[in-house]
Amino acid sequence: MTMVRKSLPLIGLALALSACGTVNRGVESVHQPVVQRTDYVIDLASAGDRLAQGERERLEGWFRSIDLAYGDRVSVDDPSGAIGVRSDVDSLLGRRGMSSLANAPVTPGAIAAGTVRVVVSRASASVPGCPDWSRSSSPEFVGSTMSNYGCASNAALAAMVADPMDLIQGREAGAAGDTATASKAIRAYRDTAPTGTKGLKNESTKGGN
C-alpha cells in the first residue's frame, strides 16, 4: 500500500507533463507551411511613353540588387498605361525568362506625375513553431502524435518549392504532367532493338596493299 501511495504523485506529475505542449489526435500535422508576401517597389521617371534616359540601367541594377529570380512576380503600375514603358520593363525581364503581370498590387504612397512604379512581389514559405519538442513522446495518455510531427516534411517542402505561391493557389499540370508525353522516352527505349541482335560486323585487321 505504501508503494501505491508513493507512485500516485508521480502518476499525477506524468499526466500533467503529458498535457503540456502541442496536442494533435489526428493524422494531419498542425505544423503547416505559411506563405508570406513582400512587395519591393521602385519609382522610375518616364519620358512620353517610354522610360526616361538612364532609367533602364537603374532598373536593371535594382533587379540585381534584390536578386530577382524565378518565383518573383513583377508588375508595372503606370497611371498613363503607356505600352512603351511596359515594353521597356519586359525587355529586361525577358533576359531572365520572365514577363510582367497585367495587374499591379496596391502599394502605399501615390505615384508622382511623370513616374511609373515597378513592383516585385516575393513570396517566402516557412513553418513557424518548428522544431517543436514541447510535448513528451512518452508516456502518452491522450492519443496525440508527437509535438514535432510534420515539422521535418513540411519544412522541407517549404524550403524546396520553387514558387511558394503554388502552396496557396496550386498550378495546372502542363506537358510534364501528361503521362503520354512523359512516357515517350521510356517507350522509345523499350521498343528499340538491342544493337547486338543482328550479330557483330566482321572487320579485317589485315592491312590492304
In a domain, 173, yes or no: no
The pLDDT tens digits of the residues spanning 35-92 come to 999 999 999 999 988 999 999 999 999 999 999 998 899 999 998 888 999 999 999 9
Query: What's the total number of domains in the chain?
Result: 1
- 136 burial level (CB within 10 Å; 0-12, 13-18, 19+): middle
* Residue 189 lies inside a defined structural domain of this protein: no
Evaluate whether residue 2 is within a structural domain: no
Question: Does any domain span residue 114?
Answer: yes
141 or 73, higher pLDDT: 73
Question: Residue 95 sits in which domain range?
Answer: 38-121
Residue 33, domain member (yes or no): no
Render pLDDT for 94-134 as a digit per residue (tens, 0 to 9).
999 999 998 999 899 999 999 999 999 999 999 999 999 98
Task: Choose the most confident range, by mean pLDDT, from 2-6, 137-141, 176-180, 191-195.
Answer: 191-195
Find all residues with CB under 8 Å of 29, minimum gap 6, and list them. 145, 149, 150, 151, 153, 154
